[in-house]
């Protein structure tokens, strides 16, 4: 029933692809203390982590005028198989890690209030750093299902003698039900759906499904960070690797049984396309703001096999690697300019530098230089660009670097 060799098919091999971590980012000269409360969902909800423990999520209640304004964030963390292992073997490896269990070894105990010390940018509750959204109600969902919040198997899969559960659909719906029952979510005036990296893909997939669930009076907006992974040819694997990886999720987790894709035009033909923003964005009925690198480090290293930028910086890339990087950027710009033509009111803040996930790290706090807007002939940082777009300011929709990564003086890289 399940593929035993997820990474070797005809004309597609992982032998020459090296999986790496993200490029080190600049340290921040600030101390962060973001309050959150941990909620552990009861087993009766059907929500589970991969190892069968109860699913958990975090929230920070709104204050004052923000009590009826909600931000829902699908946290990134990759899906099973994105580490280069066969899908089920990859899930098995996660069982003793933070993305496979809700154990208190990695996550807080139910009902515990704690302070998050990492920078969260748009999710920050500090008015100094986030004046527009600081007092909103914030919900952080954790990637504990292995299938990017999309698994829908009722029964566990046994691998290596161990049961593994894939209930991402249940996890998300149970979280939304909890917030409605306890905090009147459906009476919100505004909701921002957001996600970083793989969580950004999840946010757009779920937005299409939730439009039939959320009341029509709510102003709903998407803000997607680092989720524009391309359906591009990988010179390392000699195939369209991301396409192949998504197909493995479809087959392994039987995603064709999930009602999550009921609004996807590809659900009956090429379901893997329903898991990629490049193909599903046209059917999204909500306004969207994208922040993304044109030469995303995760995509280049983990999906394209171009790791020179992580091994000493761009100066270490040879001519062949630089050509491959430029090909990725050209594909990215072609894709996003098509999106812009089809969705002219959507927002775009697209740096040409080597980065991954920008809204929730150093870029938000002024360490990232501005991106150019051809419409206004001005440059702007990510926070001001996103704010202006959200508030409907004219011409503040498209910030796209025209200078490539090699010649952009605003690109600064940090290495240990």
The percent of residues in the chain predicted with pLDDT above 90, rounded, is: 62
Return the DSSP state at 48: B
**How many CA atoms are closer than 13 Å to the CA of 115, on its beta-carbon side?**
5
Can you tell me the mean pLDDT for 120-135? 91
- Share of the chain residues as helix, strand and coil, in percent rounded to the nearest 5: 30, 20, 50
171, 202, 273, 285 from 280: Cα distances, Å: 22, 12, 7, 11
**In whole angstroms, what is the distance from residue 315 CA to residue 97 CA?**
34
Residue 84's pLDDT band, with cuts at 50, 70 and 90, is confident
Q: In the predicted model, is pLDDT for residue 367 greater than 70?
A: no
The percent of residues in the chain predicted with pLDDT above 70, rounded, is: 91
Return the DSSP state at 319: H
Which is nearest to 32 in space by CA: 118, 111, 98, 91?
Answer: 118
Q: In the predicted model, is pLDDT for residue 9 greater than 80?
A: no
Are 62 and 136 in contact by the 8 Å Cβ rule? The answer is yes
Give 209-213's long-range contacts (Cβ < 8 A, gap of 24+): 209/259, 209/260, 209/261, 209/262, 209/263, 210/176, 211/263, 211/285, 211/286, 212/263, 213/176
Can you tell me the mean pLDDT for 334-350? 95
Q: In the predicted model, is pLDDT for residue 253 greater than 50?
A: yes
Which is nearest to 130 in space by CA: 350, 291, 364?
Answer: 364
Residues 173-188: tens digit of each pLDDT: 999 999 999 999 999 9
Cβ-based burial of 20 (10 A; exposed 0-12, middle 13-18, buried ≥19): middle
Q: In the predicted model, is pLDDT for residue 22 greater than 60?
A: no
**In whole angstroms, what is the distance from residue 159 CA to residue 208 CA?**
33
Q: Which range scores top for mean pLDDT: 41-55, 111-125, 224-238, 291-305?
A: 41-55
Residues 96-109: tens digit of each pLDDT: 899 999 999 999 99
Q: In the predicted model, is pLDDT for residue 144 greater than 90?
A: yes
Cα 179–chain centre separation: 21
Residue 32's pLDDT band, with cuts at 50, 70 and 90, is confident
Q: In the predicted model, is pLDDT for residue 346 greater than 90?
A: yes
How high does pLDDT run on average in the chain? 88
For residue 131, give both structure tokens.
Answer: 């004046």
Which is nearest to 152 in space by CA: 276, 51, 249, 266?
Answer: 249
| Partner residues linked to 140 by β-bridges | 58, 73
**In whole angstroms, what is the distance from residue 213 CA to residue 193 CA?**
14
Angle of the 87-94 helix axis to the 241-252 helix axis, nearest 10: 80
Domains along the chain? 8-400 (3.40.50)
């Amino acid at each position: 029933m399940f593929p035993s060799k997820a990474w070797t098919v005809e004309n597609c091999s992982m032998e020459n692809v090296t999986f790496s971590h993200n490029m080190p980012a600049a340290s921040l000269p600030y101390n962060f203390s973001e309050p959150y409360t941990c909620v552990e969902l009861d087993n009766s909800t059907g929500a589970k982590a991969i190892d069968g423990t109860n699913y958990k999520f975090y929230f920070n209640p709104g204050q004052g005028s923000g009590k009826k304004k909600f931000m829902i964030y699908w946290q990134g963390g990759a899906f099973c198989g994105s580490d280069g292992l066969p899908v089920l073997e990859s899930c098995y490896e996660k069982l003793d890690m933070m993305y496979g269990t809700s154990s208190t070894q990695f996550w807080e105990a139910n009902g515990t209030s704690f302070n998050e010390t990492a920078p969260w940018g748009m999710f920050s509750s500090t008015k100094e750093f986030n004046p527009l959204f600081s007092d909103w109600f914030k919900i952080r969902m954790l990637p504990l299902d292995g299938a990017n919040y999309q698994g829908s198997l009722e029964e566990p899969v046994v691998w290596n003698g161990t049961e593994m559960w894939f209930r991402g659909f249940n996890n998300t719906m149970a979280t939304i039900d909890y917030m409605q029952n306890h905090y009147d979510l459906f009476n919100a005036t505004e909701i921002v759906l957001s996600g970083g990296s793989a969580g950004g893909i999840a946010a757009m997939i779920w937005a299409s499904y939730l439009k039939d669930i959320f009341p029509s009076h709510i102003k709903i907006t998407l803000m997607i960070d680092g989720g524009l992974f391309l359906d591009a040819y990988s010179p390392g694997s000699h195939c369209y690797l991301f396409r192949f990886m998504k197909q493995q999720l479809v087959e392994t987790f039987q995603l064709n049984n999930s009602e999550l894709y009921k609004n996807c035009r590809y659900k009956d033909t090429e379901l893997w396309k329903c898991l990629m923003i490049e193909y599903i964005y046209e059917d999204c009925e909500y306004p969207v703001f994208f922040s993304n690198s044109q030469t995303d480090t995760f995509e280049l290293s983990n999906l394209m096999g171009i790791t020179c930028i992580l091994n000493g910086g761009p100066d270490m890339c040879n001519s062949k690697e630089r050509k491959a990087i430029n090909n990725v950027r050209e594909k990215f710009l072609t894709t996003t300019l098509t999106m812009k033509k089809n969705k002219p009111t959507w927002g775009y803040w697209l740096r040409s530098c080597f980065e991954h996930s920008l809204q929730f790290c150093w870029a938000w706090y002024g360490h990232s230089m501005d991106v150019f807007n051809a419409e206004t002939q001005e440059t702007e940082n990510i926070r001001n660009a996103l704010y202006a777009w959200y508030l409907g300011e004219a011409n503040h929709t498209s910030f796209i670097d025209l200078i490539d990564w090699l010649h952009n003086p605003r690109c600064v890289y940090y290495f240990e």
